[in-house]
Amino acid sequence: MAQRSVAPGPSVLADRSRREPRDLRAGELELSMVLAADVCTTGGLKLVAKGQELTPSLLERIANYARMASGIQEPVRVYVPSQQLTEVTADAH
């Protein structure tokens, strides 16, 4: 069986100029955001590597760990696409 690469494709991180870094809680994460830092449990176990674009399965995985007693290290540092930036900023106020 061929091994899948976990490195992000060039299209995910190539246009960081249209993305703004933000620190968000697990429940605030949305599709198409890109992790600016690794997501780790409070015990230090890496769950998801930085550079990954958030997909439905990654959002579910992060949410599941966030609900566990040990939890995840929050806030989570992400790059927010410019079109989502207005929504995220408005929700924070």
Q: What is the pLDDT along the chain (93 residues), one digit of tens a residue?
A: 444 444 454 444 445 557 889 999 999 999 999 999 999 999 999 999 999 999 999 999 999 999 998 899 999 999 998 776 655 555 555
In the chain, where the domains are located:
21-92
**Do the beta carbons of residue 32 and residue 15 sit within 8 Å?**
no
- CATH of 21-92, picked from 1.10.10, 1.20.58, 3.90.105, 3.40.50, is 3.90.105
CA atoms of 55 and 45, how far apart (whole Å): 20
Q: How far is CA 93 from the centre of its chain?
A: 21
pTM of the full structure: 0.72
What are the tokens at 91? 């929700």
